[in-house]
Structure 1
Amino acid sequence: MNYSIEHAARWAGQHLVDPVHIDCTTTVMLKILDGKCKMNEHDKVVIGCLYDVVKNRPGKLIGEEYHALIEQARTAMDEALAMFIYEKRLLAETMISRPVMKAYKAWLRDNGILCRPQDAEEA
């Protein structure tokens, strides 16, 4: 079951409080912006919504520099900025372990925020 974007925003307001989850949300947002994300379009919109809810909350490892970069990319993306975002996303992914990122995405799926892989074609 996937909830509406509005539900995802409410859910994020209540549940996305762990600084590690803030970092994961920011990193996935970077991956969406650099064009390397393989999520379906609905989930990309959901991540953007989650990010908007938590972008002013403190992360554990990822700071304001990344948020300013995301804001810039959302308003005026060009090829040079896309390459810079790609580099920053790779750096962010080295700071967050793969198991942590996988657990974060599974948590979102378990809570109905993101599609399960078998549901991706239906979204």
Structure 2
Amino acid sequence: MMDPFAKVAADLDQFGCDCAVTVALKITDDSCKMDDEQRALFMALYDALPPYESAMFDESIHDLIREGRNTPSTLLFGQIKKERERAMAIITKEKMKTFKASVRGSLLIARHTA
């Protein structure tokens, strides 16, 4: 039985995966306006992402997020902010809102069919 987060993460295209990484950056540096439950939901999605080829990030982004979660610091948050802002310039707020709504809907379906 596949975990709902793993199922939704596995169904994301490259752009969706990049959006999931960007949301993880926003949550990690605390620039995200979501409540704790939504933050937990999107971090669980990020944690369930399969390895993928990114158009926006190299592999080091995952180290940056992990370090930000485990040992937050002003220096790390500065690096995270730079990556996040660069990604958001490409993704746009509108597409990010659409992505989040789509993930929420997919998770509802995945939870009810699990």
The verdict on a shared fold, with TM-score over 0.5 as the criterion, is yes
Q: Where does structure 2 lack aligned partners over 5 or more consecutive residues?
A: 109-114
| TM-score where L is the length of structure 1 | 0.74
Structure 1: give runs of 5+ residues left out of the alignment: 1-5, 114-123
1:49 aligns with 2:9: no
The equivalent residue for 1:99 is: 94
Instruction: Find out whether 1:15 has 2:11 as its counterpart.
Output: yes
SS of residue matched to 2:33 = coil
Counterpart in the other structure of 2:105: 110
8 Å CA contact 1:24, 1:101 repeated in 2: yes
Identity %: 29
1:75-109: per-residue Cα shift (whole Å, max 9, x none)? Answer: 21112211221122111111213332121112123
Contact 1:32 1:44 in 2 (8 A): yes
Large movers: runs of 4+ above 4 Å? none
Q: Is the 8 A contact 2:10 2:49 kept in 1?
A: no
Residue 32 of structure 2: aligned partner: 37
1:59 matched to 2:54: yes
Equivalenced residue count is 107
CA contact (8 A) 1:28 1:47 kept: yes
1:30, 1:70 within 8 Å by CA — same for their partners in 2?
yes
76 and 9 in structure 1: CA distance in 2 versus 1, 3 angstrom threshold: same
Letter in 1 for 2:6: R
Task: Give the partner amino acid of 1:12.
Answer: V
- How far the C-alpha of 1:111 sits from its partner, in A, is 2.6
Tell me: higher relative CO, structure 1 or 2? Use CA pairs within 8 A at least 6 residues apart: 2
The CA deviation at 1:55 is 5.6
Cα RMSD over matched residues? 2.0
Q: Does 1:70 align with 2:43?
A: no
How many angstroms apart in 2 are the aligned matches of 1:89 and 1:102? 15
- Pick closer, same or farther for the CA change 1:43–1:105 going to 2, 3 Å: same
User: What is the letter of the counterpart of residue 77 of structure 1?
Assistant: P
